DNA sequence: CGCAATTACTCAGGGCACTGATTAATTTAA
DNA sequence: TTAAATTAATCAGTGCCCTGAGTAATTGCG
């Protein structure tokens, strides 16, 4: 008793949605390159020479995660890191030819996958879907712990 | 050139939505218990004595992930595992008193958090939000690689 | 100028999520 | 009834995602 219906919890639905996407991506786009990795490639196609932190900001990955993703893409030879001569803290990132080729290939497959993923919705519903998701995400982003006060611990420790 | 607008990619939006939720959960609900962990507690409140695999099915976690989550909750003393006397492969799961207390506390906080999370949407929009997310997730779930054919590799290896 | 604050990146650590392989128990079918 | 197939759980491996702490370079202020 007192249990809740998880299908009315936005967080639960968000997680399921993301998992569903992950699985479809694996079957329809690539088992080698992940969706966040594609987002990074895409950002560097639009803006070559960006530094790591800025790329992370563009695609919505924190400093640690973007470092890992970049390192994997580098190991696979899809991008190059060079130290910024103007600012020795930064690494400037640029796709290799192989990286460009991969991006091109995945762009086509991703478009196909998105169609399949959104097929259950009508065109108007798809617009609403984008609008609602964007609005909720953007609003939550503005809430990032402005007070610096974390959630209270569960146990009132003696 | 040839770069795509990620905000029209449902997968990217799904990931951002989930991240936004993760962060809000950390500040408004708990830094100790995660949202998937709460989902497990909630399932066991509704159906005590379920086995591990079935709990995973209920909350949408695969065999490996549910095993880790269960093990963490067990270590924290929130649930008990006992071998099923009827079927020696299964472990039957049941919340401890501490587990029940934790679930009660989090239920209240989660309800508050959901309100904040969905605040940018009107009541009607919230219903649409739920409906669209459920429909897309459910449909994608039915697509789980029925052919058994994975995405082709990127490189046509020699 | 020189020191403090800021900034970019790295590292350690915890948790979620999947696949493929393995082990042990149960069920099915020959 | 015994061998084969199935099933529940574990383990190893990869990748995403976050925080907090640490290092090196740069910037800004007194």
Pick from A11, A100, A127 the residue to mutate for testing the B interface (most B CBs within 10 Å): A11
DSSP H or E run through A34:
none
Tell me what pLDDT residue A157 has. Answer: 38
Minimal C-alpha gap between A88 and chain B (Å): 28
Residue-level pLDDT at B143:
73
Between the alpha carbon of residue A40 and those of residues A26, B45, B115, the distances in Å are 17, 42, 33
pLDDT score recorded for residue B142: 78
Which of B98, B137, B157 best probes binding to A when mutated, by most A CB atoms within 10 angstroms? B137
**Percentage of residues in chain A with pLDDT exceeding 70?**
90
Shortest Cα distance, chain B CAs vs residue A84, angstroms: 23
Q: Determine the pLDDT at residue B145.
A: 47
A124-152: average pLDDT: 79
Q: What is the mean pLDDT of residues A99-122?
A: 97
Average of per-residue pLDDT values in chain A? 91
Interfacial A residues in 57-116 facing B (CB < 8 Å): 59-60, 102-107, 109-110, 114, 116
Of A13, A26, A134, the CB nearest to B134: A13
Among A2, A117, A140, select the one facing B136 at the smallest CB separation.
A117
* Position B12 pLDDT exceeds 60: yes
If you search the block for the tokens 């992950």, which residue do you land on? Answer: A22
Q: Which bases of chain C are under 7 A from a protein CB atom?
A: 7-13, 15-21, 24-27
Q: Dump pLDDT digits (tens) for B68-117.
A: 999 999 999 999 999 999 999 999 999 999 999 999 999 999 999 999 99
Q: Does B127 touch chain A (CB under 8 A)?
A: no
Nucleotides of D under 7 A from a protein CB: 7-13, 15-21, 24-27
Query: What is the fold, at CATH topology level, of the domain defined by A16-141?
Result: Arc Repressor Mutant, subunit A (1.10.10)
CATH dotted code for B31-141:
1.10.10.10
Q: Is the pLDDT of residue B158 over 60?
A: no
Q: Reply yes or no on whether the pLDDT at B153 is more than 60.
A: no
Task: Give the pLDDT score at A154.
Answer: 56
**Chain B 7-36 contacts with nucleic strand D (CB below 7 A):** 15, 19, 22-23, 26
pLDDT digits (tens, 9 = 90+) for A15-58: 999 999 999 999 999 999 999 999 999 999 999 999 999 999 99
- For residue B1, what pLDDT band results from cuts at 50, 70 and 90? low
pLDDT at A149: 42
> HEC states along chain B?
CCCCCHHHCHHHHHHHHHHHHHHHHHHHCCCCCCHHHHHHHHHHHHCCCCEHHHHHHHHCCCHHHHHHHHHHHHHCCCEEEEECCCCCCCEEEEECHHHHHHHHHHHHHHHHHHHHHHCCCCHHHHHHHHHHHHHHHHHHHCCCCCCCCCCCCCCCCC
Specify the pLDDT at position A156. 45
Q: What is the pTM of this model?
A: 0.90
Per-residue pLDDT averaged across A104-120, rounded? 96
Which of B25, B107, B135 has its CB closest to that of A120?
A: B135
Sign of CA dihedral A118, B34, B75, A148: positive
Q: How confident is the model at residue A143 (pLDDT cuts 50, 70, 90)?
A: confident
Task: Report the b/e string of B16-46 with b at 16+ CB within 10 A.
Answer: bbbbbbeebbbbbbbeebbbbbbbbbbbbbe
How high is the pLDDT of residue B78? 97
Question: Which residues, in sequence order, are bridge partners of residue A92?
Answer: A51, A82
Whole-number Å distance between alpha carbons of B145 and B141: 9
């Amino acid at each position: 008793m007192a249990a809740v219906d998880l299908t009315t919890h936005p967080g639960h639905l968000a997680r399921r949605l993301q998992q569903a996407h992950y699985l479809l991506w694996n079957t329809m786009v690539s088992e080698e390159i992940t969706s966040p990795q594609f987002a990074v490639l895409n950002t560097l196609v639009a803006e070559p020479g960006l530094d790591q932190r800025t790329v992370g900001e563009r695609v919505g990955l924190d400093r640690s995660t973007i470092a890992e993703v970049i390192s994997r893409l580098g190991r696979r030879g899809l991008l190059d890191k060079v130290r910024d001569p103007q600012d020795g803290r930064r690494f400037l990132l640029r796709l290799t030819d192989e990286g460009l080729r991969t991006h091109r290939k995945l762009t086509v497959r991703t478009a196909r996958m998105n169609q399949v993923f959104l097929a259950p919705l009508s065109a108007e519903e798809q617009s609403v879907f984008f609008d609602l998701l964007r609005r909720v995400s953007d609003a939550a982003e503005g809430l990032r712990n402005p007070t610096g006060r974390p959630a209270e611990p569960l146990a009132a420790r003696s």
